[in-house]
Amino acid sequence: MHIENAITTEQARHLHRNTPIVVLTNVVGAAVVSAVYLDTIEPSALLPWLLAFLLQTCYRLGLWHRFRHSDFRPSVAHYWFRLSLIGSLFAVALWSLGMLLFFTIGSFMQHFAFWCVTMLVGVSSTFTQGPHYPRRFLLGYFPLLIPLICLMVHAEVICCGVLSAIAGFALLLLFYAQRFNKLLTDSLQLRFENLDLVNQLRAQKKIAETANMAKSRFLAAASHDLRQPIHALSIHLQSLAACTLPAKAEALVNDASECCDSMNDLFRSLLDVSRLDSQAVQPLYSSFALQPLLERLVSEYRPQAQAKSVALSLRPCRAWVHSDPTLVERVLRNLISNAVRYTQAGRIIVGCRRQGNAVRLGVYDSGQGIAADQQALIFEEFYQINKGSSHSAHGLGLGLNIVQRMTQLLGSQVTVRSIPERGSAFSFVLPLASTEQTRTSALPATAVRFRPLEDALIVVIGRGGRVAEIAAALKAARRCHVIATETSQQALECLSNCTLVPCALICCAADSDQAIRRLRDEFNQAIPALILPGEESRTGCEAMDDTVVLPESTSISTLLQTLRRLEDQVACSMV
């Protein structure tokens, strides 16, 4: 709606709301004047005047009731102004007639009372009607001034002074009504201009949010599609590394594997950011021990640290926490990866410290440190310290932003303490698990023992080329028997002619939980199971015993380590 039309509509709405006050003022004024002149004027002259006031009151109240539920569009507002103006002119004519009628008889005190009532009605009209439609004063007070002039010509000196005062006060009211109208109109114009700006800002915000969501969807789709061939390349490189190769070829394979891992990390960061932007990541809470998780991460990154002559150590931690293990692992993985990347000498310590009913997990390094003026900036997207250096070439500057957003999802906050040239400490707090939660979630305390599984049988269920790649990597790395099928029914048909019992299941299907339960029921055993990709079947499978949900980007080496650990845990629990 145009601003001028909006102002007109708002004026009509205010005028409509003030109609009962105007009518009440006129009725009270007429009643007071009638009471003052009751003994002076003939009833035959007073009653028609009062009857006319009653008629104009009914007209204005009826008009007010008719438009009571109107939305006051511009056309309706102008129509209301015209009908309301008729009622106002009717009231002005009655007061002009009363002036001719009452000022020709009666005493000075009665004239003074009439003057006071007239001024009361005028002041009321100034604040209830004048700001909204000032033209009604030009059409209303000018007819009132005509009988005033006529009376002043034929009146006595005292009466003439009273009439002059009435005329002067009426003109003064007109002046203030005009000023008041301008003030209200300007304020309404400012109000609707601000509303128009707010609407424009909301529209631009919506456009920006839509563009941001489109960007996130594009990054998610591009990252996902590009990671598939990179993941396949990683599996082939790891299978190739397991073969006997010349020293020069082995070095080339290792370099290619490192490059592939770097690209995979970049795409994982982009995918994490896009999922966080779209609010697709929601924490799934459970109780778990920190020590196995920390041991696995430290073991995974220790070779990279040792290659730089950096000591990566773990402080033992017996605490159990209640949180999302997948998100906690991602946070710690990013922190440890950054510590290894930016520490050229010295040591890195991963550990935890109890704080009341919570545990503070931290990664401490002796790296280059972070200046105080940059410690708040490092959590922004794509921000990198010393951009252009060899360290920044290995990332996009998203790691710490992902850490911050994931810790916020967990109800925590990552904190940093750093001194340039001395090192940094990143930490966050997780709540301790209760005794009951620990009891229901605890695994056997027996030490993990890796068992030789040569000639064992592993079943891989899923569709696509990835199942064949995993099966080939398992055969090369573990020298075991592998059955790869698309469905659990096909797996059961293959196993019906096999004398071996599966020692592990790897599911890449959307209905992984159903497939795992069906095979376990068939053999009446708690067969260890891994689920890939994790996000598709995570909700239905995390509650299953002897089941691990892994991210889609899990490397074959990590998959093998997890599979061995899970098999040993199941074996230990059966002893």
pLDDT at 336 (0 to 100): 92
Strands 415-419 and 346-355: unpaired
Which tens digits make up the pLDDT trace of 311-352?
999 988 888 899 988 889 889 988 998 899 888 888 999 998
Contacts of 522 (CB under 8 A, 6+ apart): 492, 495
pLDDT at 457 (0 to 100): 80
Dihedral-angle region of residue 411 (phi above 0 means left; psi in -120 to 50 means alpha; beta otherwise): left
Which tens digits make up the pLDDT trace of 507-547?
887 777 788 888 877 776 778 888 876 444 444 454 456 67
Which residues of the chain, if any, have pLDDT below 70?
1, 103, 129-163, 166-167, 170, 216, 219-228, 231, 270-271, 278-280, 386-396, 435-455, 465-466, 477-479, 499-500, 524, 533-546, 551-558, 561, 564-575
H helices of 383-528, in order, are 399-409, 435-441, 465-478, 488-495, 512-523
Residue type, 200: Q
Dihedral-angle region of residue 388 (phi above 0 means left; psi in -120 to 50 means alpha; beta otherwise): left
Secondary structure (3-state) at 359: strand
Cα–Cα distance measured from residue 432 to residue 80, given in angstroms and rounded to the nearest whole number: 69
Phi, psi of 499 (to 5 degrees): -90, -10
Tokens representing 65 are 């009731």
Residue type, 344: Q
List the one residue out of 114, 76, 120, 85 whose CA is nearest residue 97.
114
pLDDT at 166 (0 to 100): 66
Secondary structure (3-state) at 312: strand
Cα–Cα distance measured from residue 353 to residue 476, given in angstroms and rounded to the nearest whole number: 42
Tokens representing 327 are 């998100």
pLDDT at 392 (0 to 100): 46
User: Which helix H or strand E contains 350, and what residues bound it?
Assistant: strand 346-355
List the one residue out of 132, 105, 125 whose CA is nearest residue 13.
132
pLDDT at 431 (0 to 100): 92
Strands 358-365 and 346-355: antiparallel
Q: Give CA 221 to chain center in angstroms.
A: 23
H helices of 284-414, in order, are 290-307, 325-342, 399-409
DSSP-assigned letter for residue 464:
S
pLDDT at 547 (0 to 100): 74
Contacts of 564 (CB under 8 A, 6+ apart): 450, 451, 453
List the one residue out of 183, 66, 70, 74 whose CA is nearest residue 126.
183
Letter string b/e over residues 433-466, b meaning 16 or more CB atoms within 10 A of that residue's CB: beeebbeeeeeeeeebeeeebeebbbbbbbeeeb
Phi, psi of 448 (to 5 degrees): -75, 130
Secondary structure (3-state) at 285: coil
pLDDT at 223 (0 to 100): 60
| Triad 447, 451, 454: Cα angle to 5° | 170
Tokens representing 68 are 């009571």
Q: Give CA 222 to chain center in angstroms.
A: 25
Cα–Cα distance measured from residue 547 to residue 484, given in angstroms and rounded to the nearest whole number: 19
Residue type, 79: Y
Secondary structure (3-state) at 248: helix
List the one residue out of 299, 236, 314 whose CA is nearest residue 558.
299
Phi, psi of 484 (to 5 degrees): -115, 120
Tokens representing 485 are 């099928």
Cα–Cα distance measured from residue 486 to residue 507, given in angstroms and rounded to the nearest whole number: 9
- Provide the 10 A C-beta neighbour count for residue 425: 15
State the number of CA atoms in the 13 A half-sphere of 181 facing the CB: 20
- Beta-bridge partners for 481: 457
